[in-house]
Amino acid sequence: MNVSKEDARISLSAAQSVMDQTHKAISSAYANPLLILWGILWITAFTATHFYVHYAYYIFMTMAVVGGLSTTVIIRVFRSKAPVKEKSSPKFGRRVTALWIFLCIYIIIWLFLFAPFTGLQCNALICTAVMFAYIVMGLWFNNRFMIVLGLAVTAGTLVGFYLLRNYYCLWMALVGGGALFGTGLYIRLRWR
Partner 1 sequence: MAQLDNIIHQPVRLQIMSSLVSLDKNEQVNFTYLRKLLKLTDGNLGAHLAKLEEAGYVKIEKAFVARKPCTFINVTGKGRDAFEGHIVALKDIIHSGKG
| Encoded amino acid at 138, one letter | G
Q: How many residues bind partner 1 (CB under 8 A)?
A: 29
Q: Residue 155 interacts with partner 1 (CB under 8 A)?
A: no
**What is the sign, positive or negative, of the torsion defined by CA atoms of 153, 169, 36, 71?**
positive
Q: Residue 21 interacts with partner 1 (CB under 8 A)?
A: yes
Q: Residue 95 interacts with partner 1 (CB under 8 A)?
A: no
Q: How far apart are CA 186 and CA 119, in angstroms?
A: 32
Q: Residue 139 interacts with partner 1 (CB under 8 A)?
A: no
Closest C-alpha to 134, from 7, 47, 42: 42
**Cα end-to-end distance, the chain, whole Å:** 35
In this structure, are residues 174 and 164 in contact, taking their beta carbons and an 8 Å threshold? no
**Quick one: angle between helices 144-163 and 31-51, nearest 10?**
10
Q: Residue 73 interacts with partner 1 (CB under 8 A)?
A: no
- For residues 10 and 109, which CB has a smaller minimum distance to partner 1 in the complex? 10
Which range of residues in 82-90, 93-101, 149-157, 164-172 is near partner 1 by CB under 8 A? Answer: 82-90
- For residues 26 and 111, which CB has a smaller minimum distance to partner 1 in the complex? 26
Q: Residue 163 interacts with partner 1 (CB under 8 A)?
A: no
Q: How far apart are CA 185 and CA 172, in angstroms?
A: 18
Rounded to the nearest whole angstrom, what is the least distance from the CB of residue 61 to partner 1 in the complex? 33
- For residues 42 and 141, which CB has a smaller minimum distance to partner 1 in the complex? 141
Rounded to the nearest whole angstrom, what is the least distance from the CB of residue 92 to partner 1 in the complex? 9
Q: Residue 118 interacts with partner 1 (CB under 8 A)?
A: no
Q: Which residues have CB under 8 Å from 137's CB, separation 6+? A: 96, 99, 143, 146
Q: Which residues bind partner 1 (CB under 8 A)?
A: 1-9, 11-12, 14-16, 18-19, 21-23, 25-26, 80, 82-88
